[in-house]
Structure formats: C-alpha cells, structure tokens
Amino acid sequence: MINYRGILIITVLLLFVRVTNAQKDFRSGYIITLDEDTIYGEIDYRGDIQMCKVCKFKTDSNNEKEYLPEELVGYRFTDSKYYISKDIEGEKAFLEYLINGIVNFYYLRDEDGDHYFIDKSGLKIREIPYYKGIKTKDGKQYVYESKKHIGFLNIYMQDAPDFQSRIAQVKKPDHRNLIRLAEDYHKAICEGDKCIIYEKKSPIIKINLEAVAGFINFKEFENIQDNNYLYGGILLHLWMPRTNEKVYLTTGLLYCQYRDFKEGKYNYIKIPLHIGYMAPNTFKFRPFASIGLLSPSYSAGMLIKVNKRINIGLRSIVDFSFKKIVWIPTELYSYSVLASIYIDFL
C-alpha cells in the first residue's frame, strides 16, 4: 500500500531544498569596470557554473545589477575567489583566476565539466587538454586517461631547466596540482619574486558538531508503555567545502530509554546517515533539510546564527519503516522534535 504521507514529506523536503538553493548569498567584494574603475559592494556567491556566466552585484544602495563577461574586466570576493573576463574561442566568459605568475592558470566549469586554461606573456590563452575514454583491446574494455596535457605544459614551461619530470607528476589537471606546479615553476625561473594565488583557502574536510535534545514519539513499537520519551545525542556533520559549501553528510549517535508494560527498561540507539543541504554560514537564518541514505528517514529545521561559530535551532526527524525498497516508506515509525546547539568550525 502506498503511504501518501511519506510521499508528501519527501515532496516537501525536495521543494524546501529547491527554494533554499534559490536564495541569494551576497558576500563582500568588488567589480572592475571596463574603464578600470574598482567599485566595492556585494556579489552573489553561487555555484561555479553560474559564476562563470554572470556577476550579480549590488552596492550599499542595494540596487542589484547583473553583469555579463562583456561588461566587466573582472570581479572578486574579498580575500577569496577572483574572476576575470577572457575570450575563449570567440566568446567571453568569467574564468576563475587561480594563480598569477610567469604562467597563469584559470578555471571554468560548464555543463560539460571542468576546464583549465593557461597563458603566458607572448603566448595566448589555451585550454589544457585532458580527457578520459574507453578503449577496447582483445574484446575487453579499458578506461584510459589522456597524456596530452603533459606535453602541452612542457611547451609553456620549456625555459625551466630539468622541469619535465615535475610536469609529469600532474596526472590530471586540478586546482591543487596546477597551483603547486605554477609556484614551483615561478621559483625556478624567478627567484625572490612571489606569484599571487587567488584560490579560495578552504579545508578539504570540515566536521561540525551539533548537540540535540528533545522528545521522540514512537508509532510502531509493540508492548511499549508510553509513546513519548526524552531523546537526544550528538550529530557530526561532514563537509567538503572545496566540492560544495552547502551539501554535507550527517552521522552521530541518538539515544533514549523506553519502558514496556512490565516496567522493563530498554535502550534505543540510532546512528543516522543522512545527506543534507544547508544555507551557508553567511546567512543569519539557515534552513536545512536532509534525507537518509540507508532508510526512509527525513529531517528538516532551522538554525539561527548567534555568532561566528555558534548557532541555535530546532530540527525534526521523521523515520519510516520499509518493506522491499529502502527509500520507499510504508508506515510511520517515529518522529522527534529536537532543540539544537550547532558549532560551526570555520
């Protein structure tokens, strides 16, 4: 039998995430006009695809305006990402400026994936070639990675003595290895003169803690004396800021003690595993929603930012039982309402 209540909860959570994702996230920064004027204000921080297409900017007057790559030299978030307008195959685009040195590296993400570019005085900007493919040999298929980028980088850095072995270490172009390569090359060619790194400094992994306490209501337990019990525990939120600043994994330990009709006491322990979406810590009010990976479990709520690290809030967790397919709920198992203290380790 289809559980329409479960389907409704899933639908509401999906709509919640969609609405949250549509919220604007203005952060301090500046734009550089075609007349080389620098104007300070706030820039809407979006995903890489969107930020390579358009810059949404507003000044203290709060008048928001959209700029295309043809209309700006570039824009930058304060002490963070820097985008510069470049002509790529006859079309303008905002490229993320990774490092400025004897060679410069840039990054663009579009619907086809990640693209890295290089330029150097006297040489025009070019995309660094890299691709994966499948080869068939003796009736078997093999995944292979191209090596063209190695020869390509050797051309741009041929004036560095004995640098070929260093370039060969770049198996696949990415932010980290290209920036390190440019730094090493810069030091080899120009001692004492430092290059400028524009990449945003974010940790690879960040773990935030949340202490929760409230009550849980059981619906399907047999021989249980009461349906409502005190419930609480610790949740760990695992973030990968370099991949996505709004998506996280949650686990932890939730606990309560319940009684049966014979006055026997039993421990109920739950170790959740959810994937969630939360508004970034630049927001005062931070709505969030998550969905279970191993069972039909759903959570949503709101945090209120107290200071740079501390948030207080409220969350609800709804758990369903299932019969055949893990993500299709059948009967309501329990729901809980929990107050929380969330510690954001920046």
Let me know if residue 15 belongs to a domain.
no
Please check whether residues 254 and 184 belong to one and the same domain. Answer: no
Q: Taking the model in full, what pTM does it have?
A: 0.69
Q: According to the model, what pLDDT value does residue 251 have?
A: 97
- The answer on 292 and 178 residing in a single domain is no
Rg of the chain over all Cα atoms, to the nearest angstrom: 26
- What's the pLDDT at 9? 52
For residue 165, the Cα-to-chain-centroid distance in whole angstroms is 33
Can you give the pLDDT at residue 205? 87
**The last residue of a domain, from among 165, 197, 229:** 197
156 contacts: CB under 8 Å, gap ≥ 6: 103, 118, 120, 123
Say whether both 43 and 111 belong to one domain.
yes
Q: Determine the pLDDT at residue 2.
A: 45
* Contact status, residue 248 vs residue 237, Cβ threshold 8 Å: yes
In-domain check, residue 148: yes
pLDDT at 331: 84
d(CA 83, CA 198): 9
85 lies in the same domain as 155 = yes
User: What distance in Å separates the CA atoms of residue 61 and residue 59, rounded to the nearest whole number?
Assistant: 5
Q: Is residue 211 part of a domain?
A: yes
Share of the chain above pLDDT 70, in %: 89
Q: How many residues are present in the chain? A: 346
> What is the per-residue pLDDT for 3?
47
Number of Cβ atoms within 10 Å of the Cβ of 292? 21
Amino acid at the residue 18: R
For residues 4 and 246, what is the distance between their CA atoms, to the nearest angstrom? 29
Are both 230 and 327 inside the same structural domain?
A: yes
Range of the domain at 189: 26-197
How would you write the chain as a 3-class SS string?
CCCHHHHHHHHHHHHHHHHHHHCCCEEEEEEEECCCCEEEEEEECCCHHHHCCCEEEECCCCCEEEECHHHEEEEEECCCCEEEEEEECCEEEEEEEEEECCEEEEEEEECCEEEEEEEECCEEEEECCCCEEEEEECCEEEEEECCHHHHHHHHHCCCCCCCHHHHCCCCCCCHHHHHHHHHHHHHHHCCCCCCEECCCCCCCCEEEEEEEEEEEEECCCCCECCCEEEEEEEEEEEEECCCEEEEEEEEEEEEEEEEECCCCEEEEEECCCEEEEECCCCCCEEEEEEEECCCCEEEEEEEEECCCCEEEEEEEEEEECCCCCCCCCCCEEEEEEEEEEEECCC
- CATH for 210: 2.40.160.20
- Specify the number of domains making up the chain: 2
Are 30 and 137 members of one domain?
yes
The residue assigned the tokens 């050797």 is 154
Give yes or no: residues 248 and 277 share one domain. Answer: yes
HSE (side-chain half, CA atoms, 13 Å) at 225: 11
Listed as ranges, residues in the chain with pLDDT below 50 are 1-4, 6
φ, ψ at 178 (rounded to 5°): -70, -40
207 shares its domain with 192: no
